[in-house]
Amino acid sequence: MATNESIVLAVLTRPYRVPAPLAGAGLHSVTLFVVDTNISREEQMALSEQIVALRPQWAICAGHDCERLHDMIDESLVNEFAPTYDVPDDRMFLTTWHAKDTVEDVLFFTFVTAASNCSGPCRQAILIIGDSDAPLRQDIDAALREFRPHLFIDEQGSKP
C-alpha cells in the first residue's frame, strides 16, 4: 500500500461528467460502478473519452453492462491515436471488468491488486454512474472501512 494515498468518491448523474478536480490529478485508478440501466451507448462513449483523458494506470469497470464500458474505454484510447492507432507506451493503461463480482471483490481488486504497483502518491477515484441506491453505497462504505479505514474519503458530486 502506498503511504501517500487518497480516494475521491463521486456519484455522477446526467449528464455524466467526471468531476473537474480529477482532471490532471495523476490518478492511479478509476473504479466505475455503473448503476444506470438506461445508460446509452453515446453516454458510455462520452464517459469513456473522459476516463481516457484522466490518464489513469487502471480503469476498473463494474455493474450494468460493464463489459461494454470496458471495451469503449479501450476503443477511446486507441481512437485518440488515429489514423495509426499506435498508442505510446506512456499512454497505455489496464482496463478490467467485473460483471458478477461483489462490491467488496471489486474494491479488493482496486486496493490490493491494482494498487500493488502504485509508486509515489496513489490517487484513486471511485465513480458511481447513475443515482446510487442505498445498498450499493452501504457496500462501498463497508469495503472502504475494511480496506482503507485510515483514509479520509473526499466525496464529490457531479454538477450538470
Confidence of residue 45 (pLDDT cuts 50, 70, 90): very high
Q: What is the pLDDT of residues 96-146, one digit of tens each?
A: 999 999 999 999 999 999 988 887 778 899 999 998 777 888 899 899 988
Confidence of residue 18 (pLDDT cuts 50, 70, 90): very high
Domain ranges of the chain: 5-157
Higher pLDDT pick, 7 / 105: 105
| Residue 71: Cβ within 10 Å count | 15
SS3 state of residue 49: helix
Q: 17 is written with which cell numbers?
A: 461528467
Using alpha carbons only, how large is the chain's radius of gyration in Å? Answer: 15
83 by Cβ neighbours in 10 Å (0-12 / 13-18 / 19+) ranks as: exposed
Q: What is the pLDDT of residues 47-84, one digit of tens each?
A: 999 999 999 999 999 999 999 999 999 999 999 999 99
Fold of the 5-157 domain: Protein-Tyrosine Phosphatase; Chain A (3.90.190)
